[in-house]
Amino acid sequence: MKICCCIKQVPGTTEVKINPETNTLVREGVETQINPFDLYALEEAVRTKERMTAAGDPSTVTVITMGPPQAEDALREAISLGADDSILLSDRAFAGSDTWCTSYVLAMALTKIQPDLAFCGMQAIDGDTGQVGPGIAIHMSQAQVAYVAEIKEIDSKKATVKRLIEDGYEVCEIKLPAVMTVVKEINEPRTPSLRGKMAAKKAEITKWGAADIDAPAEKCGLMGSPTQVVRIMTPPCRGGGDTYEGEGPELADKLYDVLKSMEVV
Ligand SMILES: Cc1cc2nc3c(=O)[nH]c(=O)nc-3n(C[C@H](O)[C@H](O)[C@H](O)COP(=O)(O)OP(=O)(O)OC[C@H]3O[C@@H](n4cnc5c(N)ncnc54)[C@H](O)[C@@H]3O)c2cc1C
């Protein structure tokens, strides 16, 4: 089985700065990490490879990221964690992509690879939309299942999965090829082995630009993005507020009166 996993390199800090002129993240000098949800997606991809290989279907995991050249670090880390090979989608034409466009570029790369199963994290901790996984499936006209918490059964044609929903779980069967996004409950990601670290050091990272995936420039980056960031700002701190002093029960009564006057209780 051919398995892919999409990972995103995100800032390793919450102290993210925005360039007020371009409305984009200032990435220079910011420490980075693999999006935490993607570590679960990668672990599940590697476990699925091991499971399928043990069942007599030799399988591989290819990890993909769209990002700047330094996103190569994330790919090497993914190899240390069990991926077999990796692709960096990097091109000036991809700059400024919104989620629609990010999904499109990833979908074009996946179309070239033709995996049986593509994993994504449930969401990225910086963009936070959760749109890219389902977006990829839409662009590829493939089946998709989001918030997967367990792969119960899988063969080369279908998978039965348990997915998280608001008030419980849902078990569903999905035809392959498909895209799955996973939640943290699905597994416990492994730590890199010494062998993995050596493989990561030596790994050749495949680099693809827009031309390699047949993605026309007008469908990529700012040009291909139906949404544009007009302004990004930090909301001003709320000023004012009232301070009440006194003992617990007295303060509780006071608070109740205040909330009542505001018609909150
Ligand atoms: C209008 C607009 C303009 C933007 N302009 C810029 C910009 O100029 N510069 C900029 O840096 N960002 C920009 N962004 C942010 C960028 O589009 C998003 O970060 C990106 O599309 C991914 O969305 P997300 O972070 O919400 O991911 P989610 O949808 O929350 O991610 C879900 C999963 O998809 C996969 N995934 C997501 N992104 C990638 C990726 N790049 N590679 C591989 N897998 C991935 C991962 O598995 C991840 O767990 C812009 C966003 C918008 C809405």
Tokens of 140: 């590829």
Evaluate: CB of 75 within 6 angstroms of ligand 1: no
The string of pLDDT tens digits covering residues 41-99 is 999 999 999 999 999 999 999 999 999 999 999 999 999 999 999 999 999 999 999 99
Check whether 21 has a pLDDT greater than 80: no
Question: With 0-12 CB in 10 A as exposed, 13-18 as middle and 19+ as buried, what is 52?
Answer: buried
Atom of ligand 1 nearest to the CA of 25: 11
In a domain, 239, yes or no: no
Evaluate: CB of 103 within 6 angstroms of ligand 1: no
Tokens of 87: 């692709």
* Mean pLDDT, residues 2-15 taken together: 91
Q: How many helices (H) and strands (E) does the chain have?
A: 7, 13
Atom of ligand 1 nearest to the CA of 89: 42
In a domain, 265, yes or no: no
In a domain, 230, yes or no: no
Cα–Cα dist 47/82, whole Å: 9
Q: How far is the CA of 65 from the centre of ligand 1 (A)?
A: 11
In a domain, 209, yes or no: yes
Which pLDDT value is given to residue 29?
Answer: 77
Question: Residue 64's domain is classified under what CATH number?
Answer: 3.40.50.620
In a domain, 135, yes or no: yes
Residue 148 sits in which domain range? 2-224
Other CB atoms within 10 Å distance of the CB of residue 230: 6
Q: Which long-range contacts link 232-238 to residues 24+ away (Cβ below 8 Å)?
A: 232/18, 232/20, 232/23
Check whether 233 has a pLDDT greater than 90: no
The Cα-based distances of 248 to 243, 253, 255, 256 in angstroms read: 14, 9, 10, 12
Per the DSSP assignment, residues forming a β-bridge with 179 are 118, 144
Q: How many domains does the chain have?
A: 1
In a domain, 244, yes or no: no
In a domain, 53, yes or no: yes
The string of pLDDT tens digits covering residues 143-158 is 999 999 999 999 999 9
**What element of type H or E holds 189?**
none
Check whether 28 has a pLDDT greater than 80: no
Q: How far is the CA of 153 from the centre of ligand 1 (A)?
A: 30
193 band by pLDDT with thresholds 50, 70 and 90: very high
* Mean pLDDT, residues 228-251 taken together: 84
